[in-house]
Structure 1
Amino acid sequence: MAKKKELTVEERLRALYDLQLIDSRIDEIRNVRGELPLEVRDLEDEVAGLKIRLEKLVSSLEIIDNDIVGKKNLIEEAKALIKKYSEQQKNVRNNREFNSLTKEVEFQELEIQLAEKHIKEFKAQIEQKKEVISETKDKVKERETHLKHKKGELDAILAETEKEEQALISKSEDYKSEIEERLVAAYTRIRKNVKNGLAIVPIERGASGGSFFTIPPQIQVEIASRKKVITDEHSGRILVDAELAEEQKAKMEKMFSKL
């Protein structure tokens, strides 16, 4: 394996700041995408859930329809038995047999009444479920339209930025491979611990970029001399002088424009 070229402190600072600019550009691209991928995933899950609910509602309608058919068949059977018992009543030999058949007829009549009551309840359930099905279908249609719109947004952003993002990720890895692992590890650790991902910042108006804490003049002179890597005692960020930062920004902007 080829040995890494030994960089001067200034070269390390420039390489680290270049790496920061590349990674910040990747962050910008991902911020543009923002929450869209999550929104699309959530909408896809919501639509899938609504469709499952719709299938269950339609399936429950079929079950109720079968229950109604069952009750109608029971009514027909009960009517046939009433007719049979009524015919038998004409040929009874005593009151006991007549009363027994009368009870059978009354029982079948009650069965018919109960079945008709159930059919009425089932039909009410059908109407209620049909209403819910209609509302669910409307919601599926509305969420699918919203999903299509969000997917279109995401696809447009991906088409516009994916190629650049992949090129930048590759550049980031290239730069990391040129910098000693100790510095890369420190840079990565600082990036994770700060809100905006800025591990290396220039001095602006006597303070570290994005901070209100003034850097003592002697430290500013040391930073400008580029003889050693200096960190801000308040934020832990690595500091570079404004001139170096401007030079590297100009260089990296040219590179970004070619990606």
Structure 2
Amino acid sequence: MAKKTEVTVEEKLRALYDLQLIDSRIDEIRSVRGELPLEVEDLEDEVAGLNKRLEKMTSDLESIDFEIKEKKNKIEESNSSIKKYSEQQKNVRNNREFNALSKEVEFQELEIELAEKHIREYKAQIEQKNEVINQTKERLAERESHLTHKKNELDDILKETEKEEVALIKKSEEYEKNIEDRLVKAYKRIRENVKNGLAVVPIERGASGGSFFTIPPQVQMEIAGRKKIITDEHSGRILVDEQLANEQKEKMHELFDGISA
């Protein structure tokens, strides 16, 4: 039975830094999109809100039109009643009947005045709502135009980067499988706790990459020896020597060029 080859610390460091380079490239692609997806989403919500507002105001106008028709019908009915009562007054037998009919005529005239007052109010509401509708339509047209522009911008970026991003995510998952779970979990935890997503960084000019805290010479020698996994005491990042980092960068650039070709 063949003896299982044990993975050296150096191999673990190289694998972790490769994973970091892949994930950093994914981060770069996503940063190109920036806030665009959120901008598009906000614009879509705004357009939907404006359309809903227009629907509500259009429905309100229909209700007001209906009320105006009702008031006009009421005026016609009152005019008809006035005509009828006026005719009846010609044939009354006494003053009591005449006065009763006069009160009916007076009541119908008041009803007409009230209906006309309501119609004037409704027409003022229509004018006001039409003004708001026109302003809303202008705003909607402007927002829809802006949304189309932003969607096209996002689509162009997605077309350029989506294929590469999907391929890199797949590679990231593949590389994770070749690293022991304990290290992957530590790597992901560090990535979540640092703002730039750099969990594995090289020593650059005697300092930790990404945080720039000076690393003591003795620790630098241990890191260069690649015999154990060492973390930066200030940031918690996993440290690798500059030579290893450059070798892996060169290797991964070839991979990235192949994916984006």
For residues 174-218 of structure 1, what are the alpha-carbon distances to aligned partners after superposition, in whole Å with 9 as ceiling and x for unaligned? 000000111001001100011100000000111101223211111
Aligned to 1:219: 219
**Alpha-carbon distance change, 125 to 170 in structure 1, aligned in 2, over 3 angstroms:** same
**Alpha-carbon distance change, 125 to 210 in structure 1, aligned in 2, over 3 angstroms:** same
- The runs of at least 4 aligned residues of structure 1 exceeding 6 Å deviation read none
Letter of the 2:248 counterpart: Q
CA distance in 2, matches of 1:189, 1:202: 18
Aligned to 1:204: 204
**Alpha-carbon distance change, 80 to 36 in structure 1, aligned in 2, over 3 angstroms:** same
> Would you say the 8 A contact 1:190–1:237 is kept in 2?
yes
Aligned to 1:194: 194
CA distance in 2, matches of 1:5, 1:67: 88
For residues 142-174 of structure 1, what are the alpha-carbon distances to aligned partners after superposition, in whole Å with 9 as ceiling and x for unaligned? 000000000001000000000000000000000
> Would you say the 8 A contact 2:64–2:122 is kept in 1?
yes
CA distance in 2, matches of 1:236, 1:122: 70
CA distance in 2, matches of 1:240, 1:188: 17
Identity among equivalent pairs (%): 76
Aligned to 2:98: 98
Aligned to 1:20: 20
> Would you say the 8 A contact 1:203–1:209 is kept in 2?
yes
Aligned to 1:43: 43
> Would you say the 8 A contact 1:5–1:178 is kept in 2?
no
**Alpha-carbon distance change, 250 to 219 in structure 1, aligned in 2, over 3 angstroms:** same
Letter of the 2:21 counterpart: L
Count of matched residue pairs: 256
Letter of the 1:29 counterpart: I
Letter of the 2:52 counterpart: I
Offset, 1:5: 6.2
Gaps of 5+ in 2: none
Offset, 1:59: 1.0
Letter of the 1:249 counterpart: K
